[in-house]
Amino acid sequence: MMDLPYEDPERPLHPRSMVFDDQDRLCIADDLAHTLRIFDAAGTELNHWSIGQDTENESAPVLGRITFGQGALYVPMPVEGAVHVFDLSGRLLRTIGHKGNNTSEFNFPVAVD
């Protein structure tokens, strides 16, 4: 179990989804602050960025379950009907899909497996 000694009154944690990568880094999707936060195994915050960074809807909360895979974070964005893929520095690598009910479209993505 990770002891997270994180304390920052300017940015309290309000986790919606949490996931560990293969190096025991923890990513927390903070629904209230609309951010993704990366912590090391000691609980030190390594990085954080707005979920809306480089996207059209900066205030869109992550309502689904984030996933680590191949060195990237997969973030379902239900309101946008898409999945955003970020590297661990917060750079948007690509967007998968868009809102709709046809091929390559998502109605309301909430998880990535």
Among positive and negative, which fits the CA dihedral 100, 72, 20, 37?
A: negative
* Chain center to CA of 85: 9
Q: What is the CATH topology of the domain spanning 15-106?
A: Thrombin, subunit H (2.40.10)
DSSP 25: -
Domain ranges of the chain: 15-106
Going by their DSSP bridges, the two strands 35-39 and 45-50 should be labelled as antiparallel
Contact call for residues 111 and 64 (beta carbons, < 8 A): yes
The pLDDT, as a whole number, for residue 54 is: 47
What pLDDT does 91 receive?
A: 93
Token pair listed for 28: 């927390």
Cβ-based neighbours of 7, under 8 Å, separated by 6 or more: none
> Where do the DSSP E strands lie in 51-88?
67-69, 72-77, 82-87
Say what the pLDDT of residue 9 is.
56
Q: What is the pLDDT along the chain (113 residues), one digit of tens a residue?
A: 455 555 665 666 677 788 999 899 999 988 777 788 899 999 898 998 887 644 555 556 666 788 988 889 999 888 888 889 999 999 999 999 888 888 878 888 888 77
The dihedral through the CA atoms of 101, 106, 110, 111 has a sign that is positive
pTM above 0.85, yes or no: no
